[in-house]
Amino acid sequence: MANGKLKKTVSLLDATSIGIGAIVGAGIFVVLGVAVGLAGPAVIASILIAGAVAALTALSFVRLSRATQKEGGAYGFAYEFLPPFWAFLTGFLWIASNVVVGATVALGFSLYLSRIFPFLPVAPIAALACLAAAALNCCGMKQSVSTNNALVAAKILILLFFVLAGFLFFKAGNFSGLSSVPAGGALSGAAIIFFAYGGFARVTVVSEEVKNAKRNVPRAIILALAFSTALYLLVSIVAVGLGGSSQPSSGAFLAESISSTGIPYAALIISLGALAATASVLLTGVMGVSRVAFAMARNSQAPKAFSSVDSASGVPRNAVLATGGASALLALYGDLALAASISSFALLAYYSASNYAALKLKGGRNSKIISTAGLVSCFALMAFLSWQSLLAGAFAILCGTAYYFLGKAAKKKGVR
């Protein structure tokens, strides 16, 4: 085992690609269909609302990443600026939600793969995808980043194909029912689509592995979020223009939308893009969760085994394998819509903690206003999640609280 130090191998381009890879994936290819089922043609407003909430929180992350360049993202910031219990709970929710995200994304990957090979079983293939992502992460950060860069380039090109091909068959009349959509539908869509934006802060989780992190991490956050939002808007406008808002929500939403054009092999091309997108998110998801587990273990808030770094690959292998294994197990029993909703709750919860942590930083009035707005908007959006996700989120918080205080009591007893 190494001494717990990670290698700085990630450039600004790599860091931005990690952000785009985490954002543009299951959200646009899979969860967009769920959001359309809630908001109809007003899904455009849903994307703008979720993007605005993400932008407010992203600005808090920019300030926090300039203040500290430690591994762990939202957990690392909470540990630096908030009481230990709140830091632990932030990290616990990050890990719990992103393990669920991994399972959700793997299910999306498997759903699109089953469109190409219908005989393949969805759940087992999703579980194998989680294990494959873990295996690649174990090879080293450089290999993982190179693979992610290739996957990001592929999915962007294929999404641009969707936009260009879709505009040829665009029907403006599909937006005629926009004014009749209730505001609650657009907000519910925003709450669920926030899941798609959750990866904008992924690069902060690997800050110690980024070259010149104080400069490059904030830049990567802003670049990844701006590019992804523009791409989301283009794709969603075209999807609705193709009649997508009248279709039932589906895990293969974009492929079904482009099928209506009759363009030969169009659905196959989109399915290949979805495979690249979901594989990229899954890869960076395992990367992110393992680094949070590593940071928590280093602070004695998670099992010590997760803090060891493999001397050959330079990655926290134990944390990587545990992350991939947990997501694989969940993928065998996952429910796409509920998993996305639960993940959105946890995302909003630990991003609330990050906005609150940013309020602890020295800064001008405008900075405080932005972080306060980010905090309030996260709580407001949380109110529009389903009762099932709120209940599951409350249960996760209860489990985390019990683990923390029982562990603390056991340590005290051991000392005595």
Which amino acid belongs to residue 187?
A: L
Q: Is the pLDDT of residue 203 over 80?
A: yes
280-296 mean pLDDT = 91
115's tokens: 């469109």
Contact (Cβ atoms closer than 8 angstroms) between residue 137 and residue 286: yes
What number of residues does the chain have?
A: 416
Nearest to 342 by CA among 395, 406, 296: 395
Contact (Cβ atoms closer than 8 angstroms) between residue 295 and residue 87: no
Could you give the CA distance from residue 40 to residue 297 in angstroms, rounded to a whole number?
A: 44
End-to-end CA distance of the chain: 31
This prediction has a pTM of: 0.83
Tens digit of pLDDT for each residue in 227-251?
Answer: 988 998 998 888 888 875 555 455 5
Could you give the CA distance from residue 208 to residue 264 in angstroms, rounded to a whole number?
A: 46
Q: Is the pLDDT of residue 2 over 50?
A: no
Q: How wide is the angle at C-alpha 107 spanned by C-alphas 274 and 318, nearest 5°?
A: 105
The residue that leads in pLDDT, 197 or 61, is 61
To the nearest 10°, report the CA torsion of 105, 110, 111, 114.
170
Among 99-113, 186-200, 315-329, 357-371, top mean pLDDT goes to 315-329
Mean pLDDT for all residues in the chain:
85
Least confident of 3-12, 48-57, 299-308, 385-394: 3-12
Could you give the CA distance from residue 389 to residue 345 in angstroms, rounded to a whole number?
A: 7
Contact (Cβ atoms closer than 8 angstroms) between residue 378 and residue 357: no
In the chain, pLDDT over 70 holds for what percent of residues? 91
255-277 mean pLDDT = 85
> What CATH topology corresponds to 12-402?
Amino acid/polyamine transporter I (1.20.1740)
Q: How wide is the angle at C-alpha 321 spanned by C-alphas 320 and 326, nearest 5°?
A: 105
Q: How wide is the angle at C-alpha 267 spanned by C-alphas 263 and 270, nearest 5°?
A: 120
Q: Label residue 91 by pLDDT band (50, 70, 90).
A: very high
Q: Is the pLDDT of residue 121 over 70?
A: yes
Q: Collapsing DSSP states into helix, strand and coil, what is residue 10?
A: strand
The residues spanned by each domain of the chain are: 12-402
Q: Is the pLDDT of residue 274 over 50?
A: yes
Could you give the CA distance from residue 24 to residue 36 in angstroms, rounded to a whole number?
A: 17
Q: Label residue 14 by pLDDT band (50, 70, 90).
A: very high
Tens digit of pLDDT for each residue in 17-33?
Answer: 998 988 887 667 767 77
Alpha-helical regions (H) of 117-252: 122-138, 141-167, 183-197, 202-205, 213-241
The residue that leads in pLDDT, 69 or 86, is 86
The residue that leads in pLDDT, 3 or 33, is 33
